[in-house]
Structures are given as C-alpha cells and as structure tokens.
Structure 1
Amino acid sequence: MTPTPITRQVDHLMASQPSQDGDGVNIRRIHDFGGGLDPFLMLDELGSDRPDDYIGGFPPHPHRGIQTLTYVIHGGLTHEDHMGHSSTIQAGDAQWMHTGRGIIHSEMPLTDQQGLHAFQLWLNLAAREKLSPATYRDVRAAEMPQLPGRDAILIALGGHWQNTAGDSVAGPLDALAGHGAVAHARLAAGGELALATPTTTLLVYVFAGSLDISGTSVSPGQLARLGSGEWLALASQEGAQALLLAGEPHGEPIAHYGPFVMNAHAELEQALRDYRDGTLTD
C-alpha cells in the first residue's frame, strides 16, 4: 500500500519590517543571516505609489558571495554593472546576478501608473562558489512557464515545480544557489494550488490577500517557513499572491557584513580590502 504523502505545515512565521536601503529607498525586509532560511538570506519588498519612497534607487555598490534575484510586479528597474551589462526589467520580468568574487552594480527605479512594486531575494553561495566569476542574466515574463491549479496559477521563475496531479514545469533560471526554485503563485477567490515539494527548505511570502497554508492563515508581509513533508496545500477565499522559495541548505558558517556574505570574518575583511583597493572584481 502506498503511504499517504505528508502535507507540510507552517512551523514558523516571520513578519517583514520597514527599513531603508540605497539612496533612502523605503522597503520591507525579512532576513536571517544565522542559517534559519538556508540557502536563502534576505527578501526585500519594494512597494509604493509615492515616488519619494524609492526614486533615489540603488546607486553603484558592491557584492560578493551571494546571488540576487530581482522580480518586478509593476514598474521597472534599470541595471548597470562593471561588466558592461545595461538592461531594464519591467512588470513580470526578473534579473539574476551571480556575484561570485565580486560585482559592482546599480539599480534605478522606473514607474508605471501604479508606482513601483518589486522584490529582491538574496541566496547564499556555497563556500566553493564564493570566489567564482560573476555572471548576470535577464529573464522576460514570456519565458516563464505556468503551472495550473484550481482558479490558480504558479509562474515558475526558476527551478522545478510539480503539482499533485503530476504536471510539472521548469523555470528558466536553472542555476539558483542551493538547487533553488522560485515561483509566483496567484490564486483567485476560492482558488487552490497543491504542489509536490521534495526540497528541504520551503518558504512562502504572502504579499497580497490572505493565504491559507495547510490550515494556517498567512497575511501580507508574512513569511511562512514550512516543516517537513511532501505536499504543499495553498488556498484563498478572497484571492492572494505569494512568492514560493524552495532549496537545499548549505549547512555552512555564514559571515555577513553589508553587501558581503562569506564563511568567516577573515574573508569579510579581505572583501573590504579588495573593495578599497579596487581589486574586488579582478
């Protein structure tokens, strides 16, 4: 007899907190540099219809030791970096950076009639990849496959996703750290989405409506960390939207200072010296 799959339950809720970054950009942030979200580190939500909240953007700044994934709901962001990349993403698009040894970049906001609403996710690189060459990629909305539920869809940005009916899709971002997978779930009123979830780490960040996750109600601005199991059950009476994050923990020490994430304090000091000396990206 085949055992009944275990539905994953919410074992911890985290609330996003107001913060500022860049040139006075107002954001809501969730972070855990102690390994509690491994392989994920931080999620920022930028959302406002007031240009003063974000118009200063993120002038040139460095990174080492992480990947970033930026995803736009509406508005847009223009990216430029030391490698010569210059591109703009708009509603439904994403951009991915593997910062590796080092990258210096800027992100400047664009608006539409609703202002700006976007996310930036930080993923930790394994120790063996922290000094690897930097790379960058844009992904357009049309490249992202969709997986259906009942009055619901999952938009796959990266990684492999499968519903409990056996349908599956693979997002275009196939090199996310920690075998990561990222998706945008949209549920209409009364919608349901049931997914097979084999990875160890599974997180759900709700940003619109109220979402029922295996019987636990999760409100906008809350991140749910799921316990072990094989299935994820999502439902919403009023309609909801959420980001789904899945991956495998590195289980390595984390040392963090500003835009640098390494494994030891001495490596952070080296990153700071390299940045001051102009050799961060060499």
Structure 2
Amino acid sequence: MTTAPTPSEPEAVTHPRKIERLVTGMPTSDGAGVKLTRVISGNLQKRLDPYLMLDAFGSDDPDDYIAGFPNHPHRGFETVTYMIAGRMRHNDSHGHEGLLQNGGVQWMTAGRGLVHSELPEQEEGRMEGFQLWLNLPARDKLIEPSYRDIQSRDIPEARLDNGVRVRVVAGRSHGVEGAMQRPVTEPLYLDVHFDTAASFSQRLPATANAFIYVYRGSVSIGGQNVPVKHMAILGNDAQADGVVLESQGPASVLLIAGQPLGEPIAQYGPFVMNTQQELIQAVTDFQAGRF
C-alpha cells in the first residue's frame, strides 16, 4: 500500500445533502485528566447511529495530555484513533501493542472485552488527533478482540484535479479503497485537505447517517458556513446522493458516514451493549478478570 496520490475518478453529486444543524463540542477531560472536546456524546447516538462518540484533542501544553489514558476496559464496539500530531503507545490485555504516530490510525475492535492503555511517548510538543467510537451490531458484540495499527504511509490517498487531497481511512472515495472496510455499518472516514479555494464532492448512500468536523479553516455546504471546531450533521434525504464541500482557502475536514444499525443502545461508561442485562454481564465479567 502507498500514499502516493492516486488518479481520481469523478464523483458527481446531483442532489447534495444540506446541513441539518451545527454542533459545538463540549470541553471535558478523560483518562487521567487529558483535556479534550467531546463532539458526539450520548444525546446524538441515535441520530448518528452507528457512531457513539467523537473526541477531538489538541494541545501544545504537555500538562493537557501527558498523563494519557491508563488501563481501562471496553466491550461491544470499535475505537478508531486518528493521530494528527504526536506519539501514543497502545497496549492491551490480549497482547497487542503499537505506536500511534503522526498521520497514523489505530483501529481497535473491543468485541467481547479487553483492557488497554494509551500513553504519550513524548514529553513536549503538540499532541493532536481524534477518537471515534463505532458501534458493533448485536451479532458481533462478543467477537474476539482485534487490533490494527495503520501507519500513515499505509493510508491510501487521492488527489483531485483541483488540488484537493483525500486520505481514505475507511470506505471508498473517488475510486480509492480505504485502509479499512467494514460490513454492516459500512463506515466512510475521510480526511479532506484543501490547499486553496476548491470544491469537493463525495457520493453517499441515502440511507447513511453522515457528518463533517472542521479542524482547520472553514468550509460551506449549500451556502452555509461551517467554522473551525464545529460539526455539521448532514440532513437525511431519500433523494440525496452525496455532499458538496466548498472552501475559500486552506481547510481540513473529517467527513464521516455509516449505515445505522437501528438496534437498542445500552451504555455504561466503556461498555456498549443492547440491553441492561448485557451491561450487567459486562461489568461482572470485567470484575471477574475475564477481559
């Protein structure tokens, strides 16, 4: 796999989605005090099914991130950590270990359960990135845990004729297959970079839930501006075939979409199941050391 720009295939969008609403994340902390912005939380889980959470973190102050995320459990979903800048070491109770670095992705499937840690391997400099939680269908909640460490060089990229560069973490864009593919939820995870004023079109299934998060500059959709550090939830429209992003200058945007599961969501902290009884079993299994 290579990150060399790939000749693009046009993606014509004739009925683009509009913005349903803009969301500003809430400042919070997690782990051992890491400061972050929670963009997707419990109140948006049904609307953005299959996505459960999106955290954005970014700081030049080591006091904001140095303590990291010591050992903690997960069951029933996947985490996708995308590192823009910095170094983070991952270890888990199933013997997986990896170093997450600039531009790399850690895709972890918690399945039936694991305990893991994410700790900075730097004492100064910038730490910036995102963690996205992707739900698993009921049939896969208790599958064997797995982990994939995707280095930056292994994330396929496409460069469009107008200079827009697209890193395809998951799914497909402009003829380029992403580093990850998943059945059922069919996640699309794109990191779209504008160097100058340009337009970017991406086809999306009408049945998918979708949103963007702007982390550099600003873009507009249907004439409505989306400023930096804001999420735009894209409206669902049975006639829509995609989305069109317009930038007046340099900008970087995450474009994320997926097929909703339409299943009950029962969450207790780091456990996401379908019923209260399954949550009780998850806590019992964790306390008994079965992760």
TM range (shorter): over 0.9
User: Structure 1 or 2: larger strand share?
Assistant: 1
The correspondence for 2:150, drawn from 134, 139, 143, is 139
Question: What CA distance in whole angstroms lies between the structure 2 residues aligned with 1:75 and 1:160?
Answer: 27
Deviations 1:231-273 (CA, angstroms, capped at 9, x unpaired): 2111211311111111100001101111011111111111111
- The alpha carbon displacement at 1:112 in A equals 8.5
AA aligned to 2:216 is A
Q: Residues 116-141 of structure 1: CA distance to partner in whole angstroms, max 9, x if unpaired?
A: 00110000111111111111001111
Matched, 1:186 2:193: yes
The range that moved more, 260-269 or 58-67, is 260-269
% identical equivalent positions: 40
Equivalent position of 1:28 in the other structure: 37
Indicate which of 165, 171, 181 corresponds to 1:159: 171
For the Cα contact (< 8 Å) 1:75–1:112, is it kept in 2? no
Cα separation, 1, equivalents of 2:217 and 2:95: 40
**Residues 144 and 156 in structure 1, CA contact (< 8 A), matched pair in contact too:** yes
**SS state at 1:119 partner:** strand
- What is the match of residue 148 of structure 1? 159
Q: Give the counterpart of 1:86 among 88, 97, 100.
A: 97
Following TM superposition, by how much is the alpha carbon of 1:29 offset from its aligned partner in structure 2, in angstroms?
0.6
- The 3-state SS of whatever aligns with 1:271 is helix
Query: Residues of 1 paired with 2:159 and 2:209: CA distance?
Result: 23
Q: 1:217 to 1:110 in 2, by over 3 A?
A: farther
1:255 lines up with 2:272 in the alignment:
no
Structure 2, unaligned runs of 5 or more = 1-12
Given that residues 32 and 41 in structure 1 are in contact (C-alpha distance below 8 angstroms), is that contact kept between their aligned partners in structure 2?
yes
Q: Distance in 2 between matches of 1:176 and 1:119?
A: 22
Q: Which moved more, 1:4-13 or 1:126-135?
A: 4-13
Aligned to 2:205: 198
The answer for the alignment partner of 1:278 in structure 2 is 289
Of stretches 58-67 and 267-276 in structure 1, the one that deviates more from structure 2 is 267-276
The 1:113/1:195 distance shift into structure 2, 3 A limit, reads farther
Determine the structure 1 residue equivalent to 2:72: 61
Structure 1: gaps of 5 or more residues: 163-167
Aligned alpha-carbon RMSD (Å): 1.7
Superposition TM-score, scaled by structure 1 size: 0.92
Equivalent residues of 1:98, 1:135 under 8 A apart: yes
State the secondary structure of the residue aligned to 1:189. Answer: coil
Matched, 1:169 2:176: yes
In 2, Cα distance between equivalents of 1:87 and 1:214: 41
What is the identity, as a one-letter code, of the residue corresponding to 2:256?
L
Distance 2:125 2:63 in 1: 14
How far, CA to CA, are the matches of 1:242 and 1:5 in structure 2? 21
Cα distance in 2 for residues equivalent to 1:177 and 1:144 = 22
Cα 1:153/1:91, change in 2 over 3 Å? same
Counterpart CA distance in 1 for 2:125 and 2:16 is 37
**1:12 match:** 21
Q: Which residue, out of 35, 48, 58, partners 1:47? A: 58
Aligned CA distance change for structure 1 residues 176 and 138 (closer, same or farther; 3 Å): farther
Counterpart residue number, 1:207: 215
The one-character-per-residue Cα deviations of 1:18-47 (angstroms, maximum 9, x if unpaired) are 000000000001224341110111111110
How many residues align? The count is: 273
Paired amino acid for 1:136: Y
